[in-house]
Amino acid sequence: MFLIGQYDSPFVRRTAIALRLYGLPFEHKPWSTFGDAEKVAAYNPVRRVPTLVLDDGEALIESGAILDYLDELVGPEKAMIARSGAERRKHLRITALATGLADKAVSLIYERVLRKEQLKLWVERCEAQISGVLAVLEQERAAVEMPYWLGNRIGHADIAVACALRFTGEAHPHLFDARYPALKAHAARCEALPPFQEIVQPLAPPSG
């Protein structure tokens, strides 16, 4: 199977890191949704990444759906999320906050690089959403004494948060700063792991 998308995307990166942590071999096609849009469209008409193309040609789209498939593939004992119950709901909530943060950080950088004149109202809204999520995640992570969000074992929520934080820090350093020491420590712990060090790419936003 092969994974489409560049690793500066927090969504592509979280998917690739999960594949590596699960020990699932894959080929990487670092296609850009701007420069390689037609190549992406052959597998995903929305022209978005990540897209995971399975050996039989089936194409899975959106990181959440891809990870759901990978969890099923490796089985509940190895899956990086609880199968059901309160623990799963908490895991999904943290993941949703992280992916929402990443989505707003992406939207804000597009506003900055693709518009000649930025829309002040939109910039302020995105920044407020980013700051709000960071504040909630900081408070919750500071209350957790375990190495990872839900225990001693890394999970999808940890990966999603770390990838979102790296992107936000590179794209908008004035928003992810020293006000968030617990999140800084969480990111550093994750980024020290071999899959995170292997699967990384400096931010290269499209030019307007």
Model confidence pTM above 0.85:
yes
* pLDDT of res. 87: 94
pLDDT, tens digit, for every residue of 16-64? 999 999 999 999 999 999 899 999 999 999 999 999 999 999 999 999 9
Q: In sequence order, what are the beta bridge partners of 29?
A: 4
* pLDDT of res. 82: 95
HEC string for the chain = CEEECCCCCHHHHHHHHHHHHHCCCCEEECCCCCCCHHHHHCCCCCCCCCEEECCCCCEEECHHHHHHHHHHHHCCCCCCCCCCHHHHHHHHHHHHHHHHHHHHHHHHHHHHHHCCCCCHHHHHHHHHHHHHHHHHHHHHHHCCCCCECCECCCCHHHHHHHHHHHHHHHHCCCCCCCCCHHHHHHHHHHHCCHHHHHCCCCCCCCCC
CA angle 102, 103, 107 (to 5 degrees): 115
pLDDT in tens, the chain (208 residues): 999 999 999 999 999 999 999 999 999 999 999 899 999 999 999 999 999 999 999 999 999 999 999 999 999 999 999 999 999 999 999 999 999 999 999 999 988 877 777 788 999 999 999 999 999 999 999 999 999 999 999 999 999 999 999 999 999 999 999 999 999 999 999 999 999 999 999 998 776 5
